[in-house]
Chains A and B, each alone.
Chain A
């Protein structure tokens, strides 16, 4: 179950063994990878639910299309997460099989940037639509 952490083998080793040897990964790693995928899927579902709720249930902003500007990107983001997280699972599983380092995931950054952006947009919309009190 130990993943290689030392220095890369030198070229002579690669010449002797050009393809990285495949081995059945530790079941615990396979399980952990699977749970990570499922967690991303739940995140995608949460984004889709949020997008639907914003476009369908939220009282409208002071201008038309405001809810869709916030809600539709959330749903699209959910689709992106659902797709990319499976590719990520495959890449992780391949890395586990061949003893390579796990690939870096872009998903957390995509998610953080997109949500931050949409939050700013939503704040602007709320401020613009705010009705002054009596």
Chain B
């Protein structure tokens, strides 16, 4: 991000504080998406050593989340479009449930580390 929202780092007129707050809210949300994507990628990187295919799938999911976050957070400042965001969040929610299911199967059936 080269510029914080619509305000390019210069001084801000007092009457624009509300706009600035909105731009900062968009920025924080963008960062939250990045963190979430990174969390998935971290999990994917760990899983890849035990189960390569699901690991890669989780990595891809993480990258997708990262990209989804960047897609229209900027435009959201002007007009937050709720419906497409809802679909996106639903995908993430169900995707996480799927990942949990996968993890459950691994935890149940893959033998863990034993004492040396």
Interface set of A (CB-CB < 8 Å, partner B): 24-25, 27-28, 30-32, 34-35, 37-39, 41-42, 44-46, 48-49, 51-52, 55-60, 67-68, 71-72, 75-76, 78-79, 82-83, 85-86, 89-90, 93
Determine the distance from Cα of A49 to Cα of B40 in the docked complex, in whole angstroms.
10
Q: B35 and A55: CB pair below 8 A?
A: no
8 Å CB contact of B35 from A25, A38, A56, A75:
A38
Distance A48 CA – B43 CA, assembled complex (angstroms): 9
Size range of the interface on B? Answer: 35 or more
Point out the residues of chain B lying under 8 angstroms from A76, CB to CB: 100, 104
Quick one: which of A55, A67, A71 has the most chain B CB within 10 A?
A55
Main DSSP-derived SS at the A contact region: helix
B53 interface residue (CB < 8 Å to A): no
Contact between A42 and B29 (Cβ–Cβ < 8 Å)? no
A52 touching B25, Cβ below 8 Å: no
